[in-house]
């Protein structure tokens, strides 16, 4: 099992930037808020950026950990579905606020990386979202900044439905938790059929 591989290591990578785009294309580059969902008839989708340049071993599993504050959840429903996607918008456009409505669309479409059901009781807690094989492969192919988008796919449009509101604090947890192994161990895992393709020909080897 992966847990018995002595060379396996857990690496936590905190965010370098975070924010949201509204359905009219607005974004505040100075804000750390990643409000996601429908508020006052305006839908917001969020993005998260991480610097993976220091991650040199092969990633074999990953989770996305994000803090939801006490007033972060507002909805008439007990549960909301928070989905995480790949991002094709350039990171420069994403972060400087020029992504416009195309960035909003991009943040909630494309390749699904993971999903979480967030409950009304999930406040003052870190939501842990397991990332799928698509995300792991993309992480392994990344040589620097890596972006993910997120949206609520459970919006019914009848009322405010929000998660991660009031997250405009740089101290809140927004991180990738990665389990990594050196290339030889990754080759063994691949050959043993314990994991799928993990990018053994990883990009960042000195």
Whether the Cβ atoms of residue 73 and residue 163 lie closer than 8 Å to each other: yes
Burial of 115 (0-12, 13-18, 19+ CB in 10 A): middle
pLDDT in tens, 22-71: 999 999 999 999 999 999 999 999 999 999 999 999 999 999 999 999 99
- Of 1, 8, 55, nearest in space to 184 by CA: 8
Give the end-to-end CA distance of the chain in Å, rounded to a whole number: 28
Give the pLDDT band (50/70/90) at residue 205. Answer: very low
What pLDDT does 143 receive?
85
DSSP state of 9: E
Whether the Cβ atoms of residue 58 and residue 200 lie closer than 8 Å to each other: yes
Distance CA 10, CA 20 (A): 28
Phi, psi (5° rounding) for residue 187? Answer: -65, -40
pLDDT in tens, 111-140: 999 999 999 999 999 999 999 999 999 999
Distance CA 128, CA 68 (A): 11
Give the pLDDT band (50/70/90) at residue 196. Answer: very low
Q: Is the pTM of this model over 0.85?
A: yes
């Amino acid at each position: 099992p992966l847990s018995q591989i002595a060379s396996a290591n857990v690496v936590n990578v905190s965010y370098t930037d975070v924010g949201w785009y509204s359905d009219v294309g607005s974004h505040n580059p100075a804000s750390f808020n990643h409000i996601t969902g429908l508020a006052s008839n305006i839908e917001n989708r969020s993005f998260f950026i991480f610097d993976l340049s220091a991650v040199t071993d092969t990633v074999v599993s990953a989770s996305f950990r994000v803090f939801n504050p006490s007033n972060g959840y507002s909805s008439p429903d007990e549960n909301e579905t928070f989905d995480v996607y790949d991002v094709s918008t350039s990171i420069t456009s994403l972060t400087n606020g020029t992504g416009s409505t195309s960035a909003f669309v991009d943040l909630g479409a494309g390749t699904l990386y993971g999903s979480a059901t967030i409950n009304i009781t999930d406040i003052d807690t870190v939501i842990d979202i397991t990332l799928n094989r698509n995300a792991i492969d993309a992480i392994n192919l990344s040589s620097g900044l890596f972006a993910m988008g997120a949206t609520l796919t459970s919006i019914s449009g009848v009322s405010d439905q929000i998660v991660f509101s009031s997250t405009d604090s740089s101290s809140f947890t927004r991180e990738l938790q990665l389990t990594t192994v050196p290339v030889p161990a990754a080759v063994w895992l691949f050959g043993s059929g314990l994991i799928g393709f993990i990018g053994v020909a990883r990009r960042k080897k000195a």
